[in-house]
Amino acid sequence: MFERILVATDSSEPSGRAVEFAAGLAKDHGSEMIVLHAVPRVVSRSGASDLEEPDAARELVDQIVRDLKDRGLNARGEVVRVLEGHMARGIVESAASADADVILMGTRGRSDFGGLFLGSVTHRVLHLAEKPVIVVP
* Terminal-to-terminal C-alpha distance of the chain: 23
Q: How far from chain centre, in Å, is Cα 61?
A: 10
d(CA 28, CA 95): 20
What's the CATH number of domain 4-136, 3.40.50.620, 3.40.50.300, 3.90.650.10, 3.60.15.10? 3.40.50.620
The residue with greater pLDDT, 117 or 114, is: 114
For 30-97, the DSSP string reads T-EEEEEEEEEEEEETTEEEESS-HHHHHHHHHHHHHHHHHTT-EEEEEEEEEETT-HHHHHHHHHHH
Q: What is the pLDDT of residue 69?
A: 98
Q: pLDDT tens digits for 16-31?
A: 999 999 999 999 999 9
Residues 6+ apart with CB under 8 A from 109: 14, 137
Domain boundaries, the chain: 4-136
User: pTM for the whole thing?
Assistant: 0.88
Give the pLDDT band (50/70/90) at residue 45.
Answer: confident
In the predicted structure, residue 117 carries a pLDDT above the cut 80: no
